[in-house]
Structure 1
Amino acid sequence: MSTTMSTTTPNPSLVIRTVAPNITTFSVPFLRYNKFKFGGRATLVRLATGSLAIFSPIPLSPDVSSTISNLGGNLRYIVAPDIEHHMQLGPYKTAYPTATVIGPEGLREKRAKQGDQDVPFDYEFTRANKHELKLPEELAREFEIEYWDGHSNKELVFLHKPSRTLIEADLLFNLPAREQYSKTGEDPTKGVFNKLMLHFTNTKPGHKGQQRFIWYAMMRDKASFDESAKRVAAWNFDRIIPCHGDVIETGGNEVFRRLFAWHL
């Protein structure tokens, strides 16, 4: 573990919450395309061994750093769950140089093209190896993983088996981002652009907007996408932690099956 402290200034809008035993979320406001109030979220999981894994890391502010320290400080895994949620890999790898980095194919090349800090990937999931590449043993004891290579963002989706929690990035959204904007004084539902985006990113029963968004905007390979959907639907989960929007505290499998019904 590195003794390097946090790399950014405090974030007064950060919401830190214990969602379940051994699961902590860091929720922040975030504007997509500088218009849509999407919100952002990192998820920190403490394994039975005491090691920590962070998914979709947000900026390493003093509060994030101290939370990691208070949970033992052994941040052993840094996960970029798709080709969009990777911006903070460099700062985390610098602060925790012995951590194992996990991500999907294409991200290494994207980061190089953008001039991002070079971060070696220890586990890189690809279309060819997705069923053969195994997680490190201590992670595999507590997590299932499915690589959605048929998804436009190349999603890595995780099931934390002890808490029956699905951890994902852009597989599905649950807007409005009420928790993520709760300290800002801003209403995440207000504004023309937000109202438009909410049509495609809510999880209300009977509403087809997000179903259509997934079908037309997020699916690149239907056969592979359908296969991944069926695998995840078979998992035993109740909670869903998305990167964008509120945590689905219960009934997550039902929500998933409704949104991905056309793929099941």
Structure 2
Amino acid sequence: MSAGLIPTNPADLMVIRNVTPNVTTFSVPFSRFGKLSIGGRGTLVRLTSGALAVFSPVALTEETKTKVAEQGGNVGYIVALDFEHHIFISEWAKQYPNAKIIGPEGLPEKRAKQTKDPKINDDKFAVVFTKNGKRDIKIGDEFDADFDYEYVDGHANKELVFNYRPDKVLIEADLLFNLPATEQYSKVPASQRPSGFLNKLFQSVQSTSGEATWSKRANWHLSKDRDSMGDSLKVIDKWDFTTLIPCHGDVLDGNGKEIFRKMFQWYLVGKK
């Protein structure tokens, strides 16, 4: 059940921050198996039209709803960034029923089977990205006026990556981690945070600091289709972005493109 994966008190632990006047992040603690602290993050973007898009939504708290209202209140798009980041789609769709739900292939079917999970409904997806003809799939003129996007089908989790052109902000889920998740655990008492050898090891494997050799290896070996993933990464590399917002770990503000190129160097220029 999804309830076992999320904090029971998200409102107390969530950090809401304006990365730019148009881009807001909702950062929360999240641990895998109760032992690996990776954090979670939803991102809200105000389009130039005034409509709002939420990516990998997290819990819809009263504070979250207040921030949505401050940004105009018109949620037009709810985006599951990959096959795993979808738990809170239903509660956002219920609150904002006119929003288009967007996600990768296989996710609607996955959700339809989770009939015993009270957090997940069989919501209708307006746009589903598929490997075949993926660059012919369009979300709509209003959305496309502000965003570049690529379906990274070569990634194991079927990643959707978006670039908000007006503020040069790249938004992704599991394509790149930037651990440790300092902001996401900043409201969690130290005594309640995951610790131990396995957690420390995982932090180092998913860090972008230094040469980041182990992270590069993870990104290289965990792809399910290396050629397709490399092709997608080369598309993303052509986009103009300076800030990178991952779902797991801290936001890369100002050096996002630099870190992206370092982490995916083997795909972009070849493996030495």
Q: TM-score, normalised by structure 2?
A: 0.91
The runs of at least 4 consecutive aligned structure 1 residues that moved more than 6 Å come to none
- Identify the match of residue 147 of structure 1 among 141, 151, 158: 151
Q: Identity over aligned residues, as a percent?
A: 48
1:49 aligns with 2:53: no
Question: Could you tell me which residue of structure 2 aligns to residue 205 of structure 1?
Answer: 210
Preserved contact between residue 239 and residue 249 of structure 1 (Cα < 8 Å): yes
Question: Secondary structure at 2:134's aligned position in 1?
Answer: coil
Question: Could you tell me which residue of structure 2 aligns to residue 215 of structure 1?
Answer: 220
Question: Secondary structure at 1:173's aligned position in 2?
Answer: coil
Q: CA RMSD in A?
A: 1.5
Q: Which amino acid aligns with 1:98?
A: N
Preserved contact between residue 10 and residue 63 of structure 1 (Cα < 8 Å): no
Q: Which has the higher helix share?
A: 2
Question: Secondary structure at 1:11's aligned position in 2?
Answer: helix
Spell out, residue by residue over 1:197-224, the C-alpha distance to the aligned partner (whole angstroms, 9 max, x if none). Answer: 112110012121111111112x111111
Q: CA deviation at 1:10?
A: 6.1
Question: Could you tell me which residue of structure 1 aligns to residue 233 of structure 2?
Answer: 229
Q: Which amino acid aligns with 2:204?
A: H
1:174 aligns with 2:174: no
Spell out, residue by residue over 1:128-180, the C-alpha distance to the aligned partner (whole angstroms, 9 max, x if none). Answer: 12110112111111100000011100000000101111000000000000000
For structure 1, the 5+ residue unaligned runs are: 1-7
Question: Secondary structure at 2:220's aligned position in 1?
Answer: helix
Q: CA deviation at 1:190?
A: 3.9
Whole-angstrom distance in 2 between the partners of 1:170 and 1:238: 19
Question: Aligned pair count?
Answer: 256
Question: Could you tell me which residue of structure 2 aligns to residue 109 of structure 1?
Answer: 109
Q: Which amino acid aligns with 2:53?
A: A
Preserved contact between residue 45 and residue 53 of structure 1 (Cα < 8 Å): yes
Q: Which amino acid aligns with 1:18?
A: N
Whole-angstrom distance in 1 between the partners of 2:169 and 2:177: 15
